[in-house]
Amino acid sequence: MTKVERVREALEQAKADDIVVLDVRSLTDITDTMIVASGTSTRHVTSIGRKVDDALRAAGYKPQGVEGLGDGEWVLIDCADVITHVMHPKTRAFYALEKLWSEEFGAREDGRRERGPRR
């Protein structure tokens, strides 16, 4: 299972909403893939972030950094070639990362845009 698949699986198991995977290899040198997902509350965002971090570590990947677990508005898990953003819906709407990377800069979505379960 690839790193992206591990992250996607952890997000799905944690019941993350609106999972979007962006291939940004042609746009930046900082990462190959950005994954954006939402939680339903700050507690849910924090829980999702921890589950993704745990899943990556269990698979032998060591994230270079995990930020935002304290406030639950936006958790970032930096695993070098895969950066995961788990955001509260209001924070996600404000920053619109997937729109920024997919429309303004022309990133291709991997064709596997998924919607998580709604509550």
pLDDT at 117: 41
- What is the rounded average pLDDT for all residues in the chain? 88
With pLDDT > 70 as the criterion, what percentage of the chain qualifies? 85
Predicted TM-score of the model (pTM): 0.84
Domains and CATH numbers, the chain: 3-98 (3.30.460.10)
| pLDDT band, residue 103 (cuts 50/70/90) | low
Residue 98 is classified by DSSP as: H
Instruction: Give the three-state DSSP class for 71.
Output: coil
Alpha helices by DSSP H, the chain: 3-13, 42-58, 89-95, 97-99
| pLDDT band, residue 105 (cuts 50/70/90) | low
pLDDT single digits (tens) 7-57: 999 999 999 999 999 998 888 889 999 999 999 999 999 999 999 999 999
Distance of CA 72 to the CA centre of its chain: 14
Residue 107 is classified by DSSP as: P
Which residues, 6 or more positions from 103, have their beta carbon under 8 angstroms from its beta carbon?
A: none
Higher-pLDDT residue of 79 and 98 is: 79
Give the separation between CA 108 and CA 22, rounded to whole angstroms.
6
